[in-house]
Amino acid sequence: QVQLQESGPGLVKPSETLSLTCTVSGGSTNSYYWSWIRQPPGKGLEWIGYIYYSGSTNYNPSLKSRVTISLDTSKSQFSLKLTSVTAADTAVYYCARAHNTGWFVDSWGQGTLVTVSS
């Protein structure tokens, strides 16, 4: 069974870049849509974007100018970069796998809290 694990700094200063990596184990990164989803404290879920195993990406228009998602199949990892962060970007960030035949999320990482504060 595939497992996903987020890693990266838990504290980022305003205006800096948030960088997270997701390591995939128990399965290949070939196929599927590798995604990032976030959840501000006490709030709902927001899809950030995905990278398909082919390398194509799609981002939420609300974040598109600041987001880059990349994939390293040799390491079974995919990454998120979010630039020019503000306090509004404070959230639990989940990496996730969206299914090939329909873009529902069938596997989630445990989530990592990233706080934006000076």
DSSP run (H or E) holding 58: strand 57-59
Minimal distance in Å, beta carbon 35 to other proteins? 8
Please report, as a single letter, which amino acid is at residue 98.
Answer: A
Cα–Cα distance between 29 and 100 in angstroms, integer?
A: 12
Minimal distance in Å, beta carbon 58 to other proteins? 6
Query: Among residues 18 and 67, whose Cβ is nearest to other proteins?
Result: 67
Query: Among residues 16 and 105, whose Cβ is nearest to other proteins?
Result: 105
Give contact residues for other proteins (rule: CB under 8 A): 44-47, 58, 60-62, 94, 98-99, 102-106, 108-111
Cα–Cα distance between 65 and 87 in angstroms, integer?
A: 17
Please report, as a single letter, which amino acid is at residue 112.
Answer: T
Query: Among residues 53 and 105, whose Cβ is nearest to other proteins?
Result: 105
